[in-house]
Homo-oligomer: A and B are copies of this chain.
Amino acid sequence: MNPEDLSLLEAASAIRSGTLSPLEYVRSLLARIDQLDSRVQAWATVDREAVLAEAKQCEAEARQKQFRGPLHGIPVGIKDIFYTKGLRTTMGSVLFKDFVPDRDAEAVSRLRNAGAIILGKTVTTMFANLDPGPTRNPWNLNHTPGGSSSGSAAAVAARMCPAAIGTQTVGSVGRPGAFNGVVTIVPTQKTISLNGVFPLAWSLDHAGIFGRSVEDVEAMMDSLAQVEPMDHVAQWETGPSTSTAPSGKFRIGIVRDFFHEHATSETRATIDALAHKLAGSGFEVDEARLPEVFALSQPILRMIVRTEAASNHEKLFSRAPETYGPKLRTLIETGMLVEGVDYLRASRLRTRYQRAMAKLFDDFDALLTPAARGTAPEGIGSTGDPVMNGPWTLADFPTMTLPCALGGNGLPLGVQLSAPPFQERSLLELGKIVEAVVGFNSKPDITAA
């Protein structure tokens, strides 16, 4: 098997047993980037010398059977909105084209401590909003990879790295995950630190993970999740998982309200077929009905995002408005006009929304929806619609997406699973079962694309 096709766990295990050299692994991924990235453009910055030096060091340590942590020698991609010490961090804006942070974001630091090698920075849309970067979809270069974590999703799909991290304020992880046929998780808001990440709308910003299997994503979570040992709310368990896989008592709610209305017929059929398969696999699958306040979710989201984004960008924007893309510019200018009481009303309605949505878990252990309206739209002028993801980000429910079929156009379709706050471990266990039931095993052929 080519090293680039190894899963994260396979590579980690091979490095530990001495059958994979960290240096050769990195070299093969760099070669793949050299071969493909002029077309995919997933990477904003790759410092080859530094990466090779780091890989040599990992190799020397591995020979001595010294391992930094569970990700020893694993190259990962970092969305270009996380601070990386000594490595250019552009935020997708010309305003930061020469910005080299003097420290790592907390999440980056945790990855390094686990032994990961920062392979490079992946393309973000401008300031993680909707103005696209140059990245293309590895499944079909004429289609968008989605955004805002465009490069992270595309790099993992194109086998340029086994895993990557990104951020989601509305649908910036789940949507590109679905469009690129990879697995993602966005845990509850503070489970992965946003310290050292350029904010878009801080009360909604979340960090998330891209991988090619649920197990790989879980391995990343194990290194990234920061849970205070005495925190009784957060339920991420460090060390060996004590969770048991969801059994026949596990109740899955398929949410057709709203989500099916916004999905393509192909997506609806795919999700319905999956629900049917899951019911046949011993799960209780029933239709979950959304509470009335759900109708306010989109307006609440828009109000919070635009006002916080305007506050956040106020100074930078006033200095160089001409550098802003039209979508972010409109967001900021609209946000500047929001009345304080309107922002606060939206924030307070959000609490009511969260409480009403949490009641869904009285009847269900997890919720099933499409990960996107359909396959990735044609063209790279838009990153697609985050409408399937925003409701869960607003609720702050941990959410996974998994590829589950190829659409008629040969591009992947994704399914989305949501669980109660802090229930990431059981969400991952469910994800493993769904992954097995689905049996998705296609991969993009970029030479053909």
Contacts and interface: CB of A to CB of B under 8 A. Distances in A.
A341 B345 contact: no
Given A311-B344, A314-B345, A338-B340, 11 more contacts: A228-B232, A230-B232, A307-B341, A308-B344, A310-B340, A311-B340, A338-B339, A339-B340, A340-B342, A340-B343, A343-B344
Interface of A: 228, 230-232, 307-308, 310-311, 314, 335-345, 348
Nearest to A307: B340
13 contacts: A230-B231, A230-B232, A307-B340, A310-B340, A311-B341, A335-B340, A335-B341, A337-B339, A338-B341, A340-B340, A340-B342, A340-B343, A343-B344
Count of chain copies: 2
Contacts of A308: 344
Contacts of A232: 228, 230
Nearest to A228: B232
Given A232-B230, A311-B348, A339 B341 contact: no
A230 B341 CA distance: 36
A322 B39 CA distance: 67
Nearest to A346: B340
Chain A at the B interface: SS class: helix
A87 to B, nearest CB: 28
Nearest to A308: B344
Nearest to A347: B311
Contacts of A228: 232
A314 B341 contact: yes
Contacts of A343: 340, 343-344
Given A230-B230, A232-B230, A341 B336 contact: yes
Nearest to A314: B341
A194 to B, nearest CB: 15
Those 7 A-B pairs whose CB atoms lie nearest each other, nearest first:
A311-B344, A338-B340, A340-B343, A307-B340, A230-B230, A311-B341, A310-B341
